[in-house]
Amino acid sequence: MITAQDIVAGYAGTPVLAGVGLAAGDGAVVGLIGPNGSGKSTLLRTLYAALAPSGGAVLLDGESVAALPGGELARRVAVVAQEHPPELPITVAEMVLLGRSPHRGTFQAYTAADHRIAATALRRVGMREHAERGFATLSGGEKQRVLIARALAQETGHLLLDEPTNHLDIHYQHEILALVRTLGVTTVVVLHDLNLAARYCDELVLLDAGRVARAGPVADVLRPEVLEPVYRVGVRLVEDEECVQLVFRARQPAAAPVAATSSSPATTPSPRTAPRGGTRG
Amino acid sequence: MLEKAAPADDLGRSRRSRRTALWVGGLLVALVASVPVVIGLGPVPIAPSTVAAIVGHHLVGFPTEVTWSASEDSIVRLVRVPRALLGVVVGAALAAAGVVLQTLVRNVLAEPYLLGVTSGASTGAAVVILFGAGAAAGGGALTGSAFLGAVLATGVVFLLAGVRGSVTSVRLLLAGVSVGYVLQAVTSFLIFWSDAPEGARDVLFWLLGSLAQARWSAVAVSAGVAAVSGVVLMAMARRFDAMAIGDETARSLGTDPARLRAWALGVVALLVGAVVAVSGGIGFVGLVVPHVARLCVGGAHRRLLPVAALIGALFLVWADVAARLVFSPRELPLGIVTALVGAPFLILLVRRMRAA
């Protein structure tokens, strides 16, 4: 269970979050969505105490993360963050074994059990055969899967992911998030793609300029009247088998479009959605 | 289907441990075997068996009968043995320091002298060489002044990089480079300013590094510092693994990156200061050896640090032999040998990297 209350945070005097809350119940997958610069990653960083909020509190199963020692925190929360790939060589196996490091003392070597856990984690993301490869030689999707394996090897009850589907093709986007869903751990995931959020999250928190624009079950947040002012696009809902999906289109600007393109009004991305989209201005 | 793999899949643990054990064991044997041979080599050659007998006689009193000359005895006891041991200590220290620094600033070109340690030591040494009371100052003053210079320079680099705030790798690199340049200018100015005719040559020789200063007292001090530093760095080894990937990763795995960087840099500065003060600025060992060691055992610091230290020791001990013998009886500065051998190695590594 992760709870954040009234978080105020920022970097070097630039405020980013102005009183933001979030609650992820046990085993729930909560998506953090919002436009660029709305504070998604900043909020995520406060959740694992990488950034100390200037106001508010983050609680992990009722305990303040600010009070937890680093090692203890790492045994409870695993993080898959965005980071530049390392310049120094490291193999996939070493990368995943790092997930076991919070469980081992200063002079203690990784045990046989640690290696088994790491191997199982790699198998779970389908990367066991690549254990001896250099991490730098992997494709984007493979790297992301290895980082998730590291988080799995950490054996924590909570998982934080910062845009885990970035740079992945559609296959891996779905594979990664479907995998996250099966884990059964309390998860907070930053997502850019609202359709992925719609399909794989239980609840969503929509941030807009450092404030929560709407939070709750997916169906309550992913509504045209909620999303359109925040993202400044036209939104239409489409029912898929088990969830809702979204179709977007540029909002037609209030002023007149460019005069030369008289044949098509403004920038309509997909001719298919245009006739059925209704008008908005 | 995936779940059906062998239950005792240990992710190649036993194979990796075996490989590390082989490297550590092999390098140890090579080093122990090298030392008596190296001690025997020099302007006055002494057979390794005689060397072993002299050492054994003084250490455990085993060959009770003295079958060697008194001059051989004192050459081995007072000159060659401390010199070989100092080579082991300096080589191991520089290599281990290089590993840690490359990790802390996440830059493959980082090396022990990055922190301004050598330039500080050089300025300190230059002051004594050029303006000290000549011969009266002796080795002690030189070493002390060099160590003081090293520590002061590192302190300034720390302050500039803002260890108290958050010292990032880039700030550290820039601070180290700028302090280095300023101190080089100061050293050059001191040479220009002084009237001592041989002063410039002596300073240059010191800058290029040498083990000729080896005395038992110097060996004892630097070996002590190196042993303590080694234990501390090994204790930090797993945190270094996480640091090598990134600050954010380190933090999420339970390590405060700023604090680890500050502590580790402090240890490295003391370690490098202690060896530079007695050996001068021996380049390339701390830059090249870490890369070689990574090729042998990979990037995990618990394996990397000891293997790098052993390779560094072995490399420096033999480089010193070359420095003593190539232009015998004249002695070549050690830094020339390490650069001549190290640079091609680095080029080789670059070529390999591109292929990988």
Mean pLDDT for all residues in chain A: 86
Residue of A nearest to B295 (CA): A89
Contact list in A for residue B242 (CB cut-off 8 A) is 98, 101
A273 or A43: which leads in pLDDT? A43
| Predicted confidence (pLDDT) at residue A159 exceeds the cutoff of 60 | yes
Average pLDDT score over residue span A80-103: 86
Q: What is the pLDDT of residue B133?
A: 55
Q: What is the pLDDT of residue A167?
A: 76
Please give the CATH architecture assigned to the domain spanning A2-276: 3-Layer(aba) Sandwich (3.40)
| Predicted confidence (pLDDT) at residue A42 exceeds the cutoff of 90 | yes
- Taking an 8 Å cut-off on Cβ atoms, the answer to whether A88 and B356 are in contact is no
Average pLDDT score over residue span B338-356: 78
Backbone angles phi, psi at A82, to 5 degrees: -85, 125
Q: What is the pLDDT of residue B29?
A: 97
> Distance (Å) from the C-alpha of residue B15 to the closest C-alpha of chain A?
12
End-to-end CA distance of chain B: 32
> Considering CB atoms only, which of B3, B238, B356 is closest to A134?
B356
| Predicted confidence (pLDDT) at residue A7 exceeds the cutoff of 70 | yes
| Predicted confidence (pLDDT) at residue A85 exceeds the cutoff of 80 | no
Q: What is the pLDDT of residue B106?
A: 85
Mean pLDDT for all residues in chain B: 86
Q: What is the pLDDT of residue A102?
A: 93
Place of tokens 């740079």: A167
The confidence band for A268, taking pLDDT boundaries of 50, 70 and 90, is very low
The confidence band for B139, taking pLDDT boundaries of 50, 70 and 90, is low
Fold designation for B81-355? ABC transporter involved in vitamin B12 uptake, BtuC (1.10.3470)
The confidence band for A264, taking pLDDT boundaries of 50, 70 and 90, is very low
The ranges assigned to domains in chain B are 81-355
Q: What is the pLDDT of residue B321?
A: 93
| Predicted confidence (pLDDT) at residue A103 exceeds the cutoff of 70 | yes
Asked if A276 is an interface residue toward chain B (Cβ–Cβ < 8 A), one would say: no
The ranges assigned to domains in chain A are 2-276
ipTM value for the complex: 0.82
Q: What is the pLDDT of residue B232?
A: 96
Average pLDDT score over residue span A118-140: 90
The confidence band for A274, taking pLDDT boundaries of 50, 70 and 90, is very low
The residue ranges of DSSP E strands in A25-152, in sequence order, are 29-33, 55-60, 63-64, 77-80
| Predicted confidence (pLDDT) at residue B240 exceeds the cutoff of 90 | yes
Average pLDDT score over residue span A183-194: 93
Least confident of A72-76, A245-249, B83-87, B256-260: B256-260
Q: What is the pLDDT of residue A265?
A: 47
> Considering CB atoms only, which of B5, B248, B294 is closest to A83?
B248
Distance, in Å, from the CA atom of B55 to the CA atom of B65, rounded to the nearest integer, reads: 13
Q: Residue A203: how many CB atoms within 10 A of its CB? A: 20
CB within 8 Å of chain B, chain A residues 227-256: none
Q: List the Cα angle B340/B341/B347 in 5-degree steps.
A: 95
- Taking an 8 Å cut-off on Cβ atoms, the answer to whether A107 and B234 are in contact is yes
> Distance (Å) from the C-alpha of residue B25 to the closest C-alpha of chain A?
19
Q: What is the pLDDT of residue A87?
A: 73
- Taking an 8 Å cut-off on Cβ atoms, the answer to whether A83 and B244 are in contact is no
The confidence band for B165, taking pLDDT boundaries of 50, 70 and 90, is low
Q: What is the pLDDT of residue A254?
A: 57
Query: Model confidence over A214-228: pLDDT tens digits?
Result: 999 999 999 999 999
Contact list in B for residue A149 (CB cut-off 8 A) is none
> Distance (Å) from the C-alpha of residue B337 to the closest C-alpha of chain A?
27
> Distance (Å) from the C-alpha of residue B281 to the closest C-alpha of chain A?
25
Residue of A nearest to B102 (CA): A88
- Taking an 8 Å cut-off on Cβ atoms, the answer to whether A70 and B9 are in contact is no
Average pLDDT score over residue span A117-141: 90
